[in-house]
Amino acid sequence: TSDGSDIDPLDMLGGMGAEEEYKVTLLEEAVSDAAVTQTVPQAVAPFQDNVEVQAFLQSIEVALLDIEASFIAPEPPQNLDAAVQEECRALLRILHHSRARCLASVLADEWLGSIAAVLARNSTDAALASGGLASLGLELSHAISAFAGAAPPGAAALRGLGVAALASTALQLYMRLNWTGPGAPVEAKDLPFDSAAGPEHSSAFLEALEVDGEPAYELIAGPGFLWLSAALLGLLPLSEGGSVVAQLAMGQTLPVWQGRCAFAWQLSLAEASERGVGQSPTLFELAVHNLAQCPRGPLVGSGLLTGEVLSAVQATTAPVLETFRQTSGLAAREAGTKANTSESVEAATLSSASATTRASLLVELAVRLCWYGRMKVFEELLEAACSAVGFSFEVTGVPGIKRKYQTVEFAQFAVKARSTAASAAPKAAPKAAPKAESKAVLKAVPEGAEAEAADTSAANPAAEDAPDAPDAPDAPDADATGAPDNLQLISVDDQNDVLEAPRYSESVDESDRSELERPLAAVEQIILLARCYYLWASGNPNDELLLQEVNALAQRVLVTEEKSVEHDANDGPMMTANWLTFSCGLWYRCRAEHHRSKTRERAAFQVQSLVDQFNDKKPSASHRLLLVHSAGYPARFHLQREMGMRMMRMGMVSTAHEQFKALRMWPEAIDCLMVAERNVEAKEMVRDLLATSPTPRLWSCLGDLEKEPAHHEKAWELSGNRFARAQRSLGRYHFMKGDLARAVDSFQLALRINPLHSGIWFTMGCAQMKLERYNDALITFSRCLGVEDDHSEAWANLAAVHSALGNFREARNCMNEATRRAYNNWRMWESFLGTCMQLRDIQGCIQALRRLVELDQSARMAEQVLGLLTMAVISDQDGLFDGRTGKAFAAQLNEFFNFLTSKCASEPFYWRFFAELQDALGQHAEALESRLRQSRAAQARLWEMSDPDKFTTQLEGLFRCFEALAESLALPELATVAKIQLQPAAYSVRHAARQLEAKLDTGVQGHAKWQELLESLRSIADDLEARALAVGAIAGAKSTAEA
């Protein structure tokens, strides 16, 4: 609530009616050739505040999200009108079909007859042929209106949830066609769109899926199903010119399905990458931000996001959207999108869902945040997911061996997994029970046409054209082993002595061994896989220590049961909790093994096996899709791209080129030709493609190849001024050529379309700094940091801009943030030092100097800077930073000098200023010792100096040191020390005078002052010797008297 107190979601439900819980948006459309009229909210007959109906609706939503293969079917509420009860039973049928991931069965249900008629294959083909996607959207809008209008009084919410189930089923089919397989189902002819259609026949859908200037990948299978899901969930308008998104899908968990659809859409963009390329701010808001909006977010509540974790998630996502709102991109969309997400959905809760479902949703959010580069809250989200299921793990070292003939045990990377939840241990799912009027355990098994086609290669056109990969070694059949093909090292190389997994020492006790070897439940597996993803996305993929940790986590996921168990005939015998999580474990193991010569070949063959298993008949699609949104498993075309990249790195450049050509990944195909020094062929390939099917992306590729800005301008024109990459490339071109004003103009055009490019913001800010547009640069770097808060160089440049504008305090704050993010970068600390000097900030200067010493950059400390700091402290200078005076920093500066001289004792001026500080603090004996060290350090480098001017400067410094030394030895407090040090000091000065005299005798053209300094040194030596003799005579007289 607004005062920070918690509210029990069940209490909220008890006090609200159905009208408040499930608002309905109906579409009133004028049948016109122009456009669809704006959607108008209509009044809904309430359920008389019937709590049973609310509980029924909530249980349906939870069942749609449940990750278990079986679920408890809720009973329809009693004491309702017969028509409403029939609506409840119809919704139960849709739930059953949706859980089976069978879109054909959902559309075959007579309850959705009006919508199914529009989505029949002949109807969709006719609509697309006559008026394109706009015509199909208009017909679908009318069908949705008819479906809503036919609802009995009080049943509108049921129908809204039915449309949500239809949208989720369409999304799951899209995920099946591109992520999990098996390919197109045999009932494909009963589906709205042809999943085997090539990009030429799917161009309308591909154009509709372009978002924020980022085009969709042209070979995604079944883009129509993604469009349908996005349209029903309110992410896309159903007709051109519709200012408000036409939507009927309803439910408290609607943002969850919107987020899933948005993230699947994000991953389907042509250049999407977790490294910051191809990311859409519109989809970011839907996929991440809306899930944690307080109080309406579906993941807000008990057992999910609360307190500090919720605040941290919101703080992570808000700056990105604020940057987006400050550009022109979001303002035009806010009215439409928000009206159908936040405003049409009441405060949502999933607190009543099972612990495994809640944990999987938290893992989902954590993985998405990692993908978008928001890493700061990952640990909190993962801890919340672990707490939900009573699970914990640690990566540790366990004694054991890793090689076959190894005799000495060493610590091996291992993962200990502990669980306190009774549900953690994998157990057999109950068999499907017959349909009954009472509660029943239902199994998500397709009815009727549920068998998969024998030939499913048409699901992905790229698969037919892909080149044959090298034959993989023989491996056990997946159907026989009960798990995806897990290639063994020995099957790849029979001479390999590396063990599949570490063999732990016999000293490991049974409890520890159980934690190391117990097969994990599916929800535990996705938690470990999320950790793998976090390490991969946040770290250096070439860091061997990181890869070993990823490998240990993946190996822990791959632990299987001793015997396979068949829970369902459609899935076959299973030796692991979930087929997809096991496949994802193999994927991460491949990533962790590519760098090692002993495992590189197995990793390459394993990736090929993961691509091939897409078309395996078992397990069923419903099993594969249970965790598709949580496991982080890559799409098939991403796996194929990974194969190509590995081929290129292994030197198989031509084979990789053919792979990328078949996948129509033209930038990667061009890279292969460039690596092979076939530049002319690369240009010819792109020109041939442009001659047949020109696209903005191809024109930009040609522009990059030929360094010709006109090609990027052509791409921009061809895209209707929407292809942001063209302007990004133009901006880089102009920046490199020094035409900074045009570079800024191009960058601004690109960032208005898609501002989620921190590198472009940064480069534009640098150009504005060079143009001395400091006010513009201030805004630019601020927005850069809104997108990527950890960009240390952007913080440093923002500090430089503030300094140029005279805002030194703000500059110091920015440099403080820069040094936090680049703690080991000496340049940041040097800049921080300069800013602190401008502010007269003694404490900040000492901090910066100390860090420079720790980074072995003490040579970068200027004598003038150290002198000014010392004098400010000694003289107790006022008017310093924060109104403090110099004496306040005496202890800190003294400690710094102790640290500095312990690290580097060879620089004379360190000892000089240290001695002056010690004298000021009354530490005369210590000051004397520092001056002796100064004299030794100065003489060690003086006589090797060949430059006359530098020699003179250092000789003068040595002379001043000897003068101060003589004065110190004359102090009454040091009389005892003087007896010991006078003669050695006199000898040291005399030795320096003789060295200088010898240098003059060699005829070296010296400075006119050398002779004068020689006489001064002799004078000091004579004085010290005389005092030493006097002290000695006095001491002798005393000894005689005592005798």
Q: Are 640 and 462 in contact (CB under 8 A)?
A: yes
pLDDT for res 942: 87
Average pLDDT in the 230-248 region? 66
For 670-686, the pLDDT digits (tens) are 999 998 888 899 999 99
Q: What is the pLDDT of residue 1006?
A: 59
pLDDT at 430: 36
* E strand residue ranges, 229-273: none
The amino acid sitting at 310 is L
Interatomic CA distance for residues 355 and 522, integer angstroms: 12
73-77, 333-337, 756-760: which is most confident: 756-760
Lowest mean pLDDT among 35-49, 88-102, 661-675: 35-49
Task: Give the percent of the chain with pLDDT over 90.
Answer: 56
- Closest residue by Cα to residue 628 from 82, 164, 263, 964: 263
pLDDT, position 1035? 55
At which residue do the structure tokens 């960058």 appear?
747
pLDDT at 441: 41
The pLDDT value recorded for residue 872 is 94
Digit-coded pLDDT (tens) for 159-168: 999 999 999 9
Question: What would the mean pLDDT of 111-115 be, rounded to a whole number?
Answer: 93
* Position 464 pLDDT exceeds 60: no
Task: Read off the tokens for 13.
Answer: 């439900």
**Which contiguous run of DSSP H or E holds residue 1012?**
helix 1009-1042
Question: What mean pLDDT is predicted for residues 5-9?
Answer: 40
Question: What is the structure's pLDDT at 27?
Answer: 28
| pLDDT value of position 249 | 79
Residue 778's pLDDT is what? 96
What's residue 190's pLDDT? 85
What is the reported pLDDT for 803? 95
The answer on pLDDT for 1033 being more than 80 is: no
Across the range 904-915, mean pLDDT stands at: 93
Q: What is the pLDDT of residue 1001?
A: 80
Q: What is the mean pLDDT of residues 36-43?
A: 33
Q: What is the mean pLDDT of residues 724-736?
A: 95
| Contacts of range 1007-1013, beta carbons closer than 8 Å, 24 or more positions apart | 1007/948, 1007/949, 1007/951, 1007/952, 1009/952, 1009/956, 1010/952, 1010/955, 1013/955, 1013/956, 1013/959
pLDDT of 493 > 90? The answer is no
State pLDDT tens for residues 875-909.
Answer: 999 989 988 999 999 999 999 999 999 999 999 99
Q: Is the pLDDT of residue 449 over 90?
A: no
80-93: burial string, b at 16+ Cβ within 10 Å, e else: beeebbbbbebbbb
> What band does 463 get if pLDDT is binned at 50, 70 and 90?
very low
Bridge partners (DSSP) listed for residue 185: 452
pLDDT mean across residues, the chain? 83
pLDDT tens-digit map of 313-369 = 888 888 888 888 877 544 444 433 443 443 333 344 588 889 999 999 999 999 999
Residues in the chain: 1043
Q: How far is the C-alpha of 354 from the C-alpha of 72, rounded, in Å?
A: 11
Least confident segment among 87-101, 131-145, 449-463, 931-945: 449-463
DSSP helix/strand/coil, 599:
coil
**pTM listed for this prediction:** 0.81
Own/partner pairs, 1009-1016, CB within 8 angstroms, 24+ separation: 1009/952, 1009/956, 1010/952, 1010/955, 1013/955, 1013/956, 1013/959, 1016/959
pLDDT classification of 978: cutoffs 50, 70, 90: confident
pLDDT digits (tens, 9 = 90+) for 198-213: 777 789 999 999 999 9
User: Stretch 70-81: mean pLDDT, rounded?
Assistant: 80
Contacts of 624 (CB under 8 A, 6+ apart): 176, 180, 181, 579, 580
Residue 423 has pLDDT above 50, yes or no: no
**Does 15 score more than 80 pLDDT?**
no
Residues 6 or more apart whose CB falls under 8 angstroms from that of 283 comprise: 211, 212, 262, 263, 265, 266
- What is the spatial distance between Cα 1017 and Cα 639, in angstroms, rounded to a whole number? 78
pLDDT cut 70: percent of the chain above it: 84
Residue 746 has pLDDT above 90, yes or no: yes
Burial environment of residue 390 by CB neighbours within 10 A (0 to 12, 13 to 18, 19 or more): middle
Identify the band that residue 810 occupies on the pLDDT scale cut at 50, 70 and 90.
very high
382-410 tens-digit pLDDT: 999 999 999 999 999 999 999 989 999 99
d(CA 1032, CA 81): 120
Distance CA 378, CA 367 (A): 8
Characterize the bridge pairing of strands 391-403 and 25-26. unpaired
